[in-house]
A = this chain, B = another copy of it.
Amino acid sequence: MFEAAELGRKVSKDDYKARVPALRGELLEVQNALRAATAPPVVIVFAGVDGAGKGDIVNLLNEWMDPRWIVTRAFGEPSDEELERPEYWRFWRALPPRGRIGLFLSSWYSRPVLDRVYRRLTPEAFEERLNRVVDFEQTLASDGALILKFWMHLGKTAQKKRLKTLENDPLRRWQVDELAWKHWRLYSRFIAAAEHAIRITNRGNAPWMIVEGEDARYRSLAVGEAIRDAVRGHLADTEDARAAADARTTARPGAKRKGAGPVTSILSSLRMDRRVDPKDAESMIETHQGRLNLLERKAAAKGVSTILVFEGWDAAGKGGAIRRVTAALDARDYQVIPIAAPTDEERAHHYLWRFWRHLGRAGRVTIFDRSWYGRVLVERVEGFATEKEWRRAYAEINQFENQLVHHGIVLVKYWLHVTDEEQLRRFKERECTPHKQWKLTGEDWRNREEWGAYELAVNDMIEHTSTRDAPWTLIEANDKSHARIKVLATLCDRLERRLGLKTGRKSRSQ
Report A's interface with B, CB cutoff 8 A.
25, 28-29, 32, 55, 58-59, 61-63, 66-74, 79-81, 103, 105, 171, 174, 290, 293-294, 297, 319, 322-323, 326-327, 329-332, 334-338, 343-345, 361, 369, 435, 438
Contacts and interface: CB of A to CB of B under 8 A. Distances in A.
| Copies of the polypeptide in the assembly | 2
Nearest to A293: B171
Contacts of A290: 171
B63 A326 contact: yes
Contact of A343 (B63, B68, B326, B345): B345
Given A63-B323, A68-B319, A68-B322, 12 more contacts: A25-B435, A58-B331, A62-B331, A67-B336, A68-B336, A70-B331, A79-B80, A79-B361, A105-B332, A171-B290, A343-B345, A344-B344
A55 B323 contact: no
Nearest to A82: B81
A81 B66 CA distance: 28
A343 B343 CA distance: 8
Contacts of A361: 79
A66 to B, nearest CB: 7
Nearest to A63: B327
B59 A331 contact: yes
B330 A59 contact: yes
Given A171-B290, A322-B67, A344-B343, A55 B332 contact: yes
Contacts of A105: 332
A439 to B, nearest CB: 10
Interface centre among A105, A323, A435 (most CB of B within 10 A): A323
Contacts of A63: 323, 326-327
Contacts of A73: 332
B326 A174 contact: no
A332 to B, nearest CB: 4
Contacts of A59: 327, 329-331
A420 to B, nearest CB: 26
Nearest to A345: B343
Contacts of A55: 330-332
Nearest to A325: B67
Contacts of A70: 331, 336
Contact of A69 (B67, B69, B74, B338): B338
Contacts of A327: 59, 63
